Amino acid sequence: MKVLISLVEVVEGTKIVREDGTANINGNTCHKILATIDEIPGASSHLSYLRLAADGIYSCQSTDPKAPESLELPQPLRSAGNGHSCRAP
């Protein structure tokens, strides 16, 4: 991973994303996803939670039952073809 820190300097670092166990949030089993970035000034670790549902993969940033979650990847995926089409704006 390369990040432009200023117009003069490019700093290289490493980003590692891994599953770090599970958590129960609102009765749902969620996978803890930990992202760490090394050797980039100001970068910090990030923890999020993903859960699989019938209509897709949801993400949230907290174990708080009132925390909002968002649909990251709807299922089933549709692609152009097979009777489906897509149009760029």
Distance CA 10, CA 36 (A): 19
Residue 81: the pLDDT is 62
pLDDT, tens digit, for every residue of 4-60?
556 677 788 899 999 999 999 989 999 999 999 888 888 888 899 999 999 999 999
Residue 65: pLDDT over 60: yes
Cut 0.85: pTM above it: no
Sign of CA dihedral 52, 57, 62, 64: negative
DSSP type of residue 6: S
The answer to whether 38 and 14 have CB atoms below 8 angstroms apart is yes
DSSP type of residue 21: E
- Helix H, strand E, coil C: the string for 55-69 is CEEEEECCCCCCCCE
Token pair belonging to 87: 């149009």
Q: What is the mean pLDDT of residues 70-79?
A: 82
